Amino acid sequence: MAKLKVGMIGGGGPGAFFGRVHLRALSLDGTRELVAGALRTDPKAALASAAEWGIRGFGDWREMIEARARGRLELDYAVITTPNNAHFAPAMACVEAGIPVLCEKPMTMTVDEAERLAARVKEKDVPFVLAHTYTGHPMMMLAREMVRRGDVGRIRKIEAWYTQGWLATALEKDGQQQAAWRTDRARTGISNCGGDIGTHAFVAATWVSGLKVRRVSARLNSFVQGRDLDDDFNVTAEMDNGATALITATQIAIGYKNDNGFRIFGAKGSLEWRQERAESLLVRAGECDRTYWIGGGAPFFPESVGSYLRVPAGHHEDFLEALANLHCTMERTIRRRRGEEAPAPYDHPGAETGVAGMRFVAAAVASSGAQGAWRDV
Amino acid sequence: MAKLKVGMIGGGGPGAFFGRVHLRALSLDGTRELVAGALRTDPKAALASAAEWGIRGFGDWREMIEARARGRLELDYAVITTPNNAHFAPAMACVEAGIPVLCEKPMTMTVDEAERLAARVKEKDVPFVLAHTYTGHPMMMLAREMVRRGDVGRIRKIEAWYTQGWLATALEKDGQQQAAWRTDRARTGISNCGGDIGTHAFVAATWVSGLKVRRVSARLNSFVQGRDLDDDFNVTAEMDNGATALITATQIAIGYKNDNGFRIFGAKGSLEWRQERAESLLVRAGECDRTYWIGGGAPFFPESVGSYLRVPAGHHEDFLEALANLHCTMERTIRRRRGEEAPAPYDHPGAETGVAGMRFVAAAVASSGAQGAWRDV
Amino acid sequence: MAKLKVGMIGGGGPGAFFGRVHLRALSLDGTRELVAGALRTDPKAALASAAEWGIRGFGDWREMIEARARGRLELDYAVITTPNNAHFAPAMACVEAGIPVLCEKPMTMTVDEAERLAARVKEKDVPFVLAHTYTGHPMMMLAREMVRRGDVGRIRKIEAWYTQGWLATALEKDGQQQAAWRTDRARTGISNCGGDIGTHAFVAATWVSGLKVRRVSARLNSFVQGRDLDDDFNVTAEMDNGATALITATQIAIGYKNDNGFRIFGAKGSLEWRQERAESLLVRAGECDRTYWIGGGAPFFPESVGSYLRVPAGHHEDFLEALANLHCTMERTIRRRRGEEAPAPYDHPGAETGVAGMRFVAAAVASSGAQGAWRDV
Amino acid sequence: MAKLKVGMIGGGGPGAFFGRVHLRALSLDGTRELVAGALRTDPKAALASAAEWGIRGFGDWREMIEARARGRLELDYAVITTPNNAHFAPAMACVEAGIPVLCEKPMTMTVDEAERLAARVKEKDVPFVLAHTYTGHPMMMLAREMVRRGDVGRIRKIEAWYTQGWLATALEKDGQQQAAWRTDRARTGISNCGGDIGTHAFVAATWVSGLKVRRVSARLNSFVQGRDLDDDFNVTAEMDNGATALITATQIAIGYKNDNGFRIFGAKGSLEWRQERAESLLVRAGECDRTYWIGGGAPFFPESVGSYLRVPAGHHEDFLEALANLHCTMERTIRRRRGEEAPAPYDHPGAETGVAGMRFVAAAVASSGAQGAWRDV
């Protein structure tokens, strides 16, 4: 079985760790390989990076797409891991060229861009995966399957959160690159905290529950002096089934590295997952709590999830494996379309989720600007 | 050292477990004893209950106060543990008679009653303790002292919650007494979930932080069909220092017995406490998390808290001991006023906290009725 | 219902905190009261302590027993909380006088004493409870009931441990009283760590499992220089059903206050309890872990255990409540013998457990002295 | 930078999941690739497997070594993942041919083989890594560095355990392949549980502490009827500095998937790590517990460990990443020997650890056969 060939757009800068993360995730299974890249904006730097990585380099992503179009480059799909403001153009170009895309989130800078991109993805029927990494985590997938098969009953309330502390001080003023672009409206868009991690909480709330947000009332804060965009993001949401969701994210919770999680309360039971202890999923109902542990072969995983697991019972898979699972989904989709044998791909977030996320953040920003008045999503 | 003599008002009914709870808490140290009680509304039943408990019975609390006034009953303080709608009258009567009061929460049915009571407490300078039980828990007291001495710096954000599941079904229709009076507007007031446990979350948010709520935006839900009052209570609060507090309570989270807790995020560090693991307190700051464990003699307890501990390092004290600590505070206050030797009483919640809690719930109900518009507290 | 009247022997010294602990535990329910005591060895000091406690004092425990015999003192039972080497004499005297005894552990200084005492308890049929406090903890009782009703199947292996760190340095040389008598052969007997906390691990292993120790292979260490007795205690035990039990205790594990616990592995499932998180009990079997939480009214408590709980679901009861439960068991036993109404007393450890514990420690000391050669218990 | 080329011996059978695991671990970073393999014993099956994996196949590992010797195959190192009884021959052959080896554990079937192999590794100075996977886990590496720099002081006691439950029934009789070869003396050697997972506990105890085992007293059990080899393994060990280590492993603890861990008690503090919550490391000393969380960039990781991390603070790396780290160590060693730039390789377990492990198990089996009499290692 030949390896899938992957091209990367962005990700090659010295502080741009996510390129390496995708390299690892796509390499993980030994069934996909990075073969080409337009890794940086500056053509020279892009070529140098590619040489360093040992792949075929392009000075511009347009050239890479062009090379493929002319049959001078084999490329099964592209990974887009540029800064937020540079997702849209290459994503759209890939889609137009019929190249499947695995795109970092947020999908675009504006709702309008997101809608246009999603529309094209649909029209062209191009595989498109949006990198909400933890949706590839088996325990988050399991939670979703449990909800879907009715384990918790009709959902009444959702709590989804993403609690970090790394921006509790004005790191952006010390030249920290990750902080700098995230807190810069030009590069990050209308929301820092909401766009960066609030969307993850939003996806946890909607993707796991299967519900949509109808309208929101939000309060965004900017606690660190001199910061333009939000570093704290609090949304009360009304879901399309009447449930209430509390969707929050913060970057000022000192000591909290990555406390991402959700609790779902239904008429029959409750579900809880926290990334800090990602290897287990808590179900509360009946006389005792039930804790499910990650690990291949566990009988409670439906095949749709179990087929993504790589190591046996008790050993953990986490972030890189979750991201690799999104690449797996892309791989399975492509192989199946080609008529190769492959397990069924899971329905991980795609372009529609990207649109929903952009609309959610836009509505939250609008509501917060209007003293928390409700805004439709 | 003679034991303090305590009288109880309410608490003697067959389903009214809280009378027994107070009996235990006040008995715990062997320095206080229950000597008299007007335990039920019906005089005959009240006398029968008292006989069963082996204390001097009164058919009506007015008679008990009267007996003391005439020197026919020694009584150092009274415990009020009637249903919510029957706190105000006996509390006011005790205060008028100069009898110190340890009163169950919520203090009254209305803001107006609360204000009148608090004013009288102040004018008469009568010791008054409001039974927010977990404020007597040493780890909650420790959290407060840490905030007070500046360990977390200026507070930016607070999360306080109380998550329960016991009212996820219409228990009140099955004749469950605890459910029946709590969901009955006549006996419980304008809010069920908010008044019953939302106030505990409110106290966690304000008493531990030392901050006051300036205004609120709220969304109350009533998820169980046929239920008049809220069983889910969500408040976004603006604190008097500009911090944001998310104060939530719910009774529909199946499998959650008593998940009460708070997280406080300051400019220097974070604090987290959860009742489910009440014996430890988490401080996050610097390169690692720090976990403090309950237990007498631990050097990190300031004397004001350490003097309340009863068992050595590693052994736990919880609910009954916390409630006993409120009785301790009452005892210390009374003994000191008499010139007896006693350690300094901790400043546990009193009548002012009762007023603040009533105002908070009232504002939340008003805001929720106005689509979440902000309401001053 | 009249309160039971309790007399205390020992417990009144300034560093002897356990007297106060028993005072609180017996007072807790409001149905028992301390009325008399021979609280210290020195008669004058004993009387002074009693005065301070507000109870009737005796200069010597013999006088207290005598007073009761002559009808000059009402006494329903006695609590013995003297140092280890002073348990035997008053316990035996009480038993001879027909006074029920709640005795601190270890029951005596030698196996011979233990056997003589247990024999007399049996002959005279006097209620006798041995204060292995955590056997009164509802979750430990629940674990025992689960084993008894077959939830884990035939037991194959047991791990029971008690891990502390307070004696990791030579505290006894700094005049710390608790350390001084525990590490002093004359006052504590042949084993410090084994006798003090190894016996608790032994009781966890045997009392919860319902198994007996047949023989042991032990390694005792004395890690702190200049210390005569063991501060680390490791036993491999063969149980009477062929199971293997690892029973360990240590006092040199810095930072571990009170990590007492057990794991029981049977042919059908596993059970785990840790005092550090005492409020929950873990059952492992089938596809997920099951966690049971403490709290009154929970349906999984059999009546024999549930009748000991005092506060509703989710609130915790721990050390003092556990000790109070042993007093409850004494109270229920006494009331039932008198024909009063009382729930059935649980079969908490008595004199036979005391004998077994003494034999266990003696065999472990012998085995360790013989390079770990197996010694029958 | 060219990818390293890896050959695999074994690992291609249908139930032999570990080949796939190594494939993933070595592929993970995108800097190594599997190019060749002698994946099964049967030549035809071996070639078929290789074809399926998309690599160059050999019918026999001798042919693969031969091909490299003749310059017909580029191979930077070999991975040996055959059953236990087939490690020695190919490992020795690779070493003789100067091919670096990453070998699954246990290294060989007998102490004699292990010693011969280790001697050759030393003489030929061939890079050799033994796949004790969790020694590649950053938190276990961190624990080792903390011990090494003196954080816990002189070590007094160690507990190391590996608790599993998957062999609690006679799975080997149902044709489960993993169970079948592990419980078969011919294929697995003198010990099942000890050799399979007891060695991991042994490595945790010695590799993290830097201590050696001097002698052991052991009790091995075979709880499941009809099973020849041990399924439960309990060792009391005397370390070369006088410390006591309790090293245990079991396969009959129902519901425990992979509870591997250690606690190290020193004169200055304690360390605890459990694989079930592998992402954090607990240090106990002083007034509070300290919890360190995994995640790239954390300042408490010394460079020697930090350079192995792939994802930022708060995201987890676990089993596959740990195994990948052993491949990294191999890669770094090889690149450095060639004069390429590479970070310093960590001193992960090599052939000497393999010898020590084999001696440890042999001594334990001998001691258990002699009623637990002490046996030198």
Per-residue model confidence as pLDDT tens digits over C64-118: 999 999 999 999 999 999 988 999 999 999 999 999 999 999 999 999 999 999 9
Helix (H, G, I), strand (E, B) or coil at A321: helix
CA-wise closest residue to C26 among C320, C234, C267: C320
Please tell me whether residues B190 and B283 are part of one structural domain: yes
D254 touches chain C (CB under 8 A): yes
For chain B, give the percent of residues with pLDDT over 90: 95
B287 contacts on D by Cβ (under 8 Å): 292, 298-300
**Cβ-Cβ contacts under 8 Å, C293 against chain A:** 288-289
Q: What is the mean pLDDT of residues B224-231?
A: 96
pTM summary value: 0.97
Q: Are residues C240 and C296 in the same domain?
A: yes
Specify the number of domains making up chain D: 2
Q: Is any Cβ of chain A less than 8 angstroms from the Cβ of C313?
A: no
Residue C17's pLDDT is what? Answer: 81
| A2-16, C198-212, D62-76: least confidently modelled range | A2-16
- Tell me whether residue B376 is in a domain: no
Average of pLDDT values for D289-316? 96
Site from D158, D221, D234, D265 to mutate, C interface, most C CB atoms within 10 angstroms: D265
pLDDT at D16 over 90: no
Mean residue pLDDT of chain C comes to 96
Same domain, yes or no, for D295 and D181? yes
Domain hosting A12: range is 4-134+343-350
Chain D nearest CA to C159, separation (Å) = 11
Interface test with A, best of B236, B258, B272, B287 (most A CBs within 10 A): B236
Q: Each residue of C216-275: pLDDT tens digit?
A: 999 999 999 999 999 999 999 999 999 999 999 999 999 999 999 999 999 999 999 999
Chain C positions touching B316 (Cβ under 8 A) are 278, 316, 318-319
What is the structure's pLDDT at B245?
Answer: 98
Residue A38 and residue A10: Cα distance in Å, rounded? 6
Q: What is the DSSP letter of B106?
A: S
Same-domain check for residues C163 and C116: no
Contact A183, A168 (CB under 8 A): no
With CB atoms and an 8 Å threshold, state whether C312 touches B3: no
Q: What is the mean pLDDT of chain A?
A: 96
Same domain, A63 and A195: no
Terminal Cα distance for chain D, rounded: 44
B256 φ, ψ (degrees, to nearest 5): -90, 110
C368/D contact by beta carbon, under 8 A: no
Write the DSSP string, B276-309: GGTTEEEEEETTEEEEEE--BT-TTS-HHHHTT-
Say whether A290 and C292 touch across the interface (CB within 8 A). Answer: no
A84 pLDDT band (50/70/90 cuts)? Answer: confident
Phi, psi of C120 (to 5 degrees): -65, -40
- Test C219 with D263 for CB contact under 8 angstroms: no
Per-position DSSP letters for B326-376, written without gaps between them: HHHHHHHHHHHHTT---PPPP----HHHHHHHHHHHHHHHHHHHTTT--EE
Taking contacts as CB-CB distances below 8 angstroms, the residues of chain D near C372 are 217, 236, 372, 374
Task: Spell out a b/e string for A49-86, using b for 16 or more CB atoms within 10 Å of the CB, else e.
Answer: bbeebebbbbbbbeebbebbeeeebebbbbbbbbbbbb
Banded model confidence at residue C175, pLDDT cuts 50, 70, 90: confident
Q: For chain D, give the percent of residues with pLDDT over 90.
A: 94
- Cβ of residue A48 closer than 8 Å to a chain D Cβ: no
D331 Cβ neighbours under 8 A, 6+ residues apart: D4, D29, D31, D32, D342
- Give the pLDDT mean for B156-180: 94
pLDDT tens-digit map of D238-265: 999 999 999 999 999 999 999 999 999 9
What pLDDT, on the 0 to 100 scale, is given for residue C107? Answer: 94
Would D205 be classed as within a structural domain?
A: yes
Same domain, yes or no, for A166 and A80? no
Banded model confidence at residue B325, pLDDT cuts 50, 70, 90:
very high
- Whether D160 and D129 share a structural domain: no
**Distance linking the first and last C-alpha atoms of chain C:** 45
**Spatial distance between the Cα atoms of A251 and A193, rounded to a whole number of angstroms:** 7
Q: Which pLDDT does position B143 carry in this prediction?
A: 98
Indicate the average pLDDT of chain B: 96
Which stretches of C125-269 are DSSP H helices?
Answer: 138-148, 177-182, 185-188, 193, 199-207
Distance CA A301, CA A298 (A): 6
Nearest-CB residue to B156 (from A152, A248, A252):
A252
Greatest distance between any 2 Cα atoms in chain D: 64
Mean pLDDT of chain D: 96
D297 touches chain B (CB under 8 A): no
Task: Say whether residue C290 is in contact with chain A using an 8 A CB cutoff.
Answer: yes
Backbone region of residue D71 per phi and psi (left: phi > 0; alpha: psi in -120 to 50; beta: other values): left
Q: What is the pLDDT of residue D178?
A: 87
Whether the predicted pLDDT of A16 surpasses 80: no
- Closest chain A residue to C293 measured between Cα atoms? A288
D103 and D146 inside one domain:
no
Neighbors of chain A by Cβ distance (3+ pairs < 8 Å):
B, C, D
d(CA D51, CA D297): 41
Residue A15 has pLDDT above 80, yes or no: no
Which B residues in the span 181-200 are in contact with C, Cβ-Cβ below 8 Å? none
What is the average pLDDT across D206-229?
Answer: 97
Query: Which residue on chain B is closest to C315 by alpha carbon?
Result: B319
Q: What is the mean pLDDT of residues A335-341?
A: 97
Same structural domain for residues D194 and D292? yes
Q: Is residue C214 part of a domain?
A: yes
Which chain B residues touch A270 with a CB distance below 8 Å?
Answer: 165, 253-256
Residue A17's pLDDT band, with cuts at 50, 70 and 90, is confident
Distance from CA of A356 to the nearest CA of D (A): 25
Verify whether the Cβ–Cβ distance B311 to C295 is below 8 Å: no
User: CA of D84, closest CA in chain B: separation in Å?
Assistant: 41
- pLDDT classification of B83: cutoffs 50, 70, 90: confident
Kindly state the tokens that stand for C6: 């309790």
Strand order in the sheet with C77-80: C56-57, C32-38, C4-9, C77-80, C101-103, C128-130
Residue C177 confidence class, pLDDT cut points 50, 70, 90? confident
Q: What is the pLDDT of residues D82-125, one digit of tens each?
A: 988 999 999 999 999 999 999 999 999 999 999 999 999 999 99
How does DSSP classify residue A312? B
The confidence score (pLDDT) of residue D21 equals: 96
D252 contact C CB<8A: yes
C1 has pLDDT over 80: no
C240 & C146 share domain:
yes
Instruction: Identify the CATH number of the domain in which residue B68 sits.
Output: 3.40.50.720
Q: How many Å apart are CA A276 and CA C48, to the nearest integer? A: 56
Question: What residues of C are in contact with residue B54 (Cβ under 8 Å)?
Answer: 1-3
* Residue D188 counted as domain residue: yes
Instruction: For residue range A217-243, list pLDDT tens digits in order.
Output: 999 999 999 999 999 999 999 999 999
Name the β-bridge partners of B149: none
pLDDT in tens, B187-210: 989 999 999 999 999 999 999 999
C372 has a chain B CB within 8 A of its CB = no
User: Is residue C332 in a domain?
Assistant: no
- Name the residue among B234, B255, B267 with its Cβ closest to that of A236: B234
- Residue B15 above 80 pLDDT? no
D246 interfacial to chain C (CB closer than 8 Å): yes
Q: What is the pLDDT of residue D111?
A: 96
CATH code of A217's domain: 3.30.360.10
Q: Does the pLDDT at position B268 exceed 90?
A: yes
In chain C, which residues have their Cβ closer than 8 Å to the Cβ of B3?
Answer: 54
- Are residues C101 and C15 located together in one domain of the fold? yes
| D363 inside domain | yes
* pLDDT above 70: percentage of residues in chain D: 100
**In angstroms, rounded to a whole number, what is the distance separating the alpha carbons of residues D48 and C50?**
89
Distance of CA A10 to the CA centre of its chain: 16
pLDDT for the residue A281: 98
Is residue C336 a part of any domain in this protein? no
Q: Is a pLDDT exceeding 90 seen at residue D149?
A: yes
Residue C295 forms contact with D (CB below 8 Å): no
B164 and A CB contact within 8 Å: no
Query: Which residue type occupies C36?
Result: A
Looking at residue C129, its pLDDT comes to 98
D267/C contact by beta carbon, under 8 A: yes
**Residue A351 pLDDT greater than 90, yes or no:** yes
User: How many angstroms separate the Cα of B130 from the Cα of each of B91, B107, B118, B182, C115?
Assistant: 11, 7, 11, 19, 53
Residues of A in contact with B283 (CB under 8 A): 255
Residue D252 resides in a domain:
yes
Q: Are residues B119 and B142 in the same domain?
A: no
Position D341 scores a pLDDT of: 94
Cβ contact, residue pair A232, B157, below 8 Å:
yes
A286 touches chain C (CB under 8 A): no
pLDDT digits (tens, 9 = 90+) for A49-58: 999 999 999 9
**pLDDT for residue D14:** 78
Please tell me the predicted confidence (pLDDT) of residue B177. 84
Residue A310 has pLDDT above 80, yes or no: yes
